[in-house]
Chains A and B, each alone.
Chain A
């Protein structure tokens, strides 16, 4: 017996995805990064269409300048936890800016988006509480449930009636239940029925946390996400998000309309027992937030790309994971080999995307996930769509009527 015997599934997947020594379709090695939408991979300059860089801010001049200035004045890292020596003025300023942006009293910054879910959810729901989570939630949410001592119940993905029945079964315990959903699911790009979920959660007296990881920066009048766009900020208790998508950095946050969120700083293990984000990351993220708040131009450009991409790929006959255009565009296949062939075809055509296969995907589906960016030029978007058109016949995909 070996400690590695239990990884037989992973070994089989690794073997299945091996492609005669060519660049791997998972964890593709990136070479030189030229811009938000261009990199050299395997010796070739390619269009990046799988990076979650929704607003393209990783190469924003002011964000880069803020990061460089922070390194010059504060060094490369804090070397300490927020609870100890790693609590810099920059962290507190960013938290204040996040809270102000939502119009809420409290915000906490975590070192990664993963830790934001892990730290907020596991601390909010304790031994006598309940967690009610969407079945297709991100791994960080499921891991938070494991770390929490709460009783965890899953409900069917995007099924408010299923949530309603489960909360009803809890009776008075629903008042000690935290409902956790994502507003925009990263795998398929589909949106949660947030209005119904808010209504049901409130009717049962449950608390509601919404993960806006893939929607923050992309939706809402000031870019705060789908809850803002739907006018639900007065109804939601907590919003979690990440700095590693629209804001182009790394880190995460939890904001709340409850000032008692501050107590989590004394109770949340993923907040307490890790080093705080580096000053350069905090400075760049703060500048990116200012950019998001400064106007709708990037959001409008991103959504213009999304509408064009969804319309043209659907016309080619591709099946998309969501009906409503958004920054995540998942091309869905029932067979892994078909998705893998498309990923390889796009790569050979100079377009980098993401391949996602079971068991990391819902309902056994295989996907080629394309992330759109405001930084994509119209020509780059044309290149991506032309590559999809070129490969459609090879996959049995035919133009829709």
Chain B
């Protein structure tokens, strides 16, 4: 296993920030939320709000997130990791 490069680390920080910023924009009460919190059950986001959040992330990172990626992400951390894999696979 190789150590993560500084660019990987930068990318991870950027994705985390984009996800967090978008989440707070859609649900202001979600600031400081645990990354393992369930977006629907615990944060209370409905499907439309999740879509709005994703579109904020897409604009922030200049990416397109396939709907299939969303379906696999139930928590903030899972969403962050899914987007990380998406960006990694396209680079």
Contacts and interface: CB of A to CB of B under 8 A. Distances in A.
Interface of A: 9, 135, 145, 151-154, 156, 162, 165-166, 169-170, 358-359, 361-364
Contacts, number: 36
B63 A152 contact: no
A166 B65 CA distance: 10
B64 A153 contact: yes
Most interface-central of B48, B62, B65 (chain A CB within 10 A) = B48
Given A169-B63, A364-B48, A152 B55 contact: no
B46 to A, nearest CB: 4
A166 B64 contact: yes
Interface SS of B by simple majority: helix
Q: Report the interface size class on chain B.
A: 10 to 19
A349 to B, nearest CB: 31
21 contacts: A135-B55, A151-B66, A152-B66, A152-B67, A153-B65, A153-B66, A153-B67, A154-B55, A154-B67, A162-B59, A165-B62, A166-B64, A169-B63, A358-B46, A358-B48, A359-B47, A362-B48, A363-B48, A363-B52, A364-B48, A364-B49
Contact of A135 (B51, B63, B66): B51
A97 B63 CA distance: 44
A363 B51 CA distance: 10
Contacts of A364: 48-49
Contacts of A145: 67
B68 interface: yes
Nearest to B63: A169
Most interface-central of B46, B47, B52, B67 (chain A CB within 10 A) = B67
B29 to A, nearest CB: 15
A9 B65 CA distance: 26
A91 B68 CA distance: 36
Nearest to B47: A359
A151 B71 CA distance: 12
Contacts of A170: 64
B36 to A, nearest CB: 20
Contacts of A363: 48, 52
A154 B51 CA distance: 9
A381 B55 CA distance: 40
B46 A156 contact: no
Nearest to B90: A169
Contacts of B49: 364
Interface string B42-84: 0000111101101100010011111110000000000000000
A170 B48 CA distance: 24
Contacts of B54: 154
B46 A359 contact: yes
B65 A359 contact: no
B58 to A, nearest CB: 8
A170 B66 CA distance: 12
Nearest to A146: B67
Contacts of B51: 135, 154
A170 B63 CA distance: 10
Contacts of A153: 64-67
A162 B59 CA distance: 9
B74 to A, nearest CB: 13
Contact of A156 (B47, B48, B55): B55
Contacts of A9: 46
A165 B63 CA distance: 9
